[in-house]
Structure 1
Amino acid sequence: MKSIVAIIAIATLAFTNAKACDKCGNYNNSNFKIKSTSVTHNKDLGVTIWEIKVDSLAGNTTPKPVGQLNGAPVLGYVFPTTLKPTDVGFNLTDGIVALALTSHPDFDDSPLWDENTDGKFDNDGIVWHPHWVILTEDKRVAGGLAVKEFKKDDKTVVLPKTSPNMPMYMDSPGFNVTTKGNSIKVVVPDYRINNKTDFKFDAVTCFMEVNTGEGGTHSEGGAKPMLGVYKVYSVASGNLSLPYSVK
């Protein structure tokens, strides 16, 4: 918990001081201005329903493709939580467990799922879909956070079977994501979060970007993280304090 508090404090300072990059500003609109957030437990169905409501149309804005993986934009509606990495299938490691609902037209990182139901499994990254990620402090990006990376030969790393096989703590769990009006929701079965319903959470909207390094061979500790947060548009609590409880 101490490490989570430290990461939140550093990230909050970064959010306050970060200057908007030009491409980040292209998406800074009312579709990402958070009005409220909730996680509701349906005991009868054994699921939690995670929701973010915004001022305008949730999910209506998606990134413009750049035509390559390096520099590919990613937009996200993100739920930072107090869940443990082991609750969602990772090994125990420092960082913040977050459920990120993302859209990115330049690549597909959910190879097990056909989100646009066209019979192809590698062409629907633009469709809003979920990822479990572990976020850590990263001063290389203006948003102050990045998805935690690891060395490919690190035998201590445990990833869920649904992960996209990238050298970072990210999973593609395939939960159903829906958008309607000003609301975006995702339904998570209880057993996929170790039957935990007593965690705290917050909600964030943000711009992220992929960096694969020169020649597409990204190395840990390079100039930029593989997937970093460059701009935060809105935070439900205002200070990323994770004050909300499951209803």
Structure 2
Amino acid sequence: MSNPAVSVSLAVACALMAGLAHAHDGAHTGGIQTQPSSAVKAPYDIVHSKITTEGNVAVFHMHVAGKAGALKPAKTGQLAGSAVFSYVWPTTIDPSAVGFEAKSGILAFAVTSHPDFDDTPLFPAPLGAWHSHWVVLSPDEACGKGALKVVDIPPGNKPKLPKTWPGLPILIDSPGWVPQFKGGTLEVRVPFDDIGVVNAANFDGVTAALKLNASVHSPLLCVVDVFKVASGDLSLPGKVNQ
């Protein structure tokens, strides 16, 4: 004869497991789904990227084949030529939505690590720690054929900038939103004054390395190695909340 208490316990356990499986599946549904690639290092091998909104908060989500954030650039001991590793969500959101000049380039949200310099003066963190940025990107052949850079601020120019601009001569913001890593998943929650601009946006997912120009002048920060693009062609096919 079966024990009723054991049967109930088994039923509860099965229900919990089913609920957890459903929650896990839901976390990685929608957005841009990508097949893993043996040619990409697992911590940067994007398999899923999406942006959703909850009230006035945008949730930037990326899942990779390995452990997210496990691989960081090596320290060089100098600013010039140093590397930046990044998880990036390029978007169709106008840069003015976060405090830059309107139509100044491609607005992207990025989570980065770089052990050779500090660009978060308002939110101090150990060098090399993962942290978040808004950046404005544009093509520049000086970075390589078809390559992107973070838009430079020419000497003497005073463009519109976010209040948390870190003082570098490029269109970058250091707002202090803390990235959360768990296994293969990276998420960042970012509040917006006007969440409507996010809800209407398209996006992509990218993992890449950037490098500071060896002579530390324009272009200051170039994308030098794209590890993976979720869409395969940077067409920004992702739709927020889908």
- 2:94 is the counterpart of 1:84: yes
Which amino acid is 2:49 matched to? Answer: T
SS in 2 for 1:126: coil
Residue identity (%): 40
Q: Quote the Cα distance in structure 2 between the aligned partners of 1:219 and 1:100.
A: 22
Does the CA-based 8 Å contact 2:93-2:197 persist in structure 1?
no
Q: Quote the Cα distance in structure 1 between the aligned partners of 2:70 and 2:47.
A: 16
Compare 49-58 and 146-155 and name the one that shifted more: 146-155
Tell me the residue number matched to 2:136: 134
Which amino acid is 1:35 matched to? Answer: V
1:161 deviates by 1.1
| 1:161 to 1:50, Cα distance in 2 relative to 1, 3 A | same
Question: Where do 1:1-247 residues align within 5 Å?
Answer: 28-43=40-55, 46-115=56-125, 124-142=126-144, 144-155=147-158, 157-191=159-193, 196-211=198-213, 213=215, 218-220=216-218, 225-247=219-241
| 1:112 to 1:212, Cα distance in 2 relative to 1, 3 A | farther
Q: Quote the Cα distance in structure 1 between the aligned partners of 2:195 and 2:135.
A: 13
The answer for unaligned runs of 5 or more in structure 2 is: 1-38
Does the CA-based 8 Å contact 1:33-1:55 persist in structure 2?
yes
| 1:131 to 1:194, Cα distance in 2 relative to 1, 3 A | farther
CA deviation vs aligned residue, 1:33-79 (integer Å, no higher than 9, x gap): 10010111112xx2111011000111110111000000111000000
RMSD between superposed Cα atoms in Å = 1.8
Q: Quote the Cα distance in structure 2 between the aligned partners of 1:200 and 1:219.
A: 32
1:181 deviates by 0.3
Which amino acid is 1:241 matched to? Answer: S
CA deviation vs aligned residue, 1:119-161 (integer Å, no higher than 9, x gap): xxxxx23111111111110112246000000213113x01111
SS in 2 for 1:31: helix
Does the CA-based 8 Å contact 2:136-2:172 persist in structure 1?
yes
The runs of at least 4 consecutive aligned structure 1 residues that moved more than 6 Å come to none
The answer for unaligned runs of 5 or more in structure 1 is: 1-26, 116-123
CA deviation vs aligned residue, 1:17-45 (integer Å, no higher than 9, x gap): xxxxxxxxxx95111010010111112xx
TM-score (norm 2): 0.79
TM-score (norm 1): 0.77
Q: Quote the Cα distance in structure 2 between the aligned partners of 1:96 and 1:190.
A: 18
**Count of aligned residue pairs for this structure pair:** 202
Q: Quote the Cα distance in structure 1 between the aligned partners of 2:198 and 2:183.
A: 29
Does the CA-based 8 Å contact 1:32-1:58 persist in structure 2?
yes
Does the CA-based 8 Å contact 1:88-1:194 persist in structure 2?
no
SS in 1 for 2:97: helix
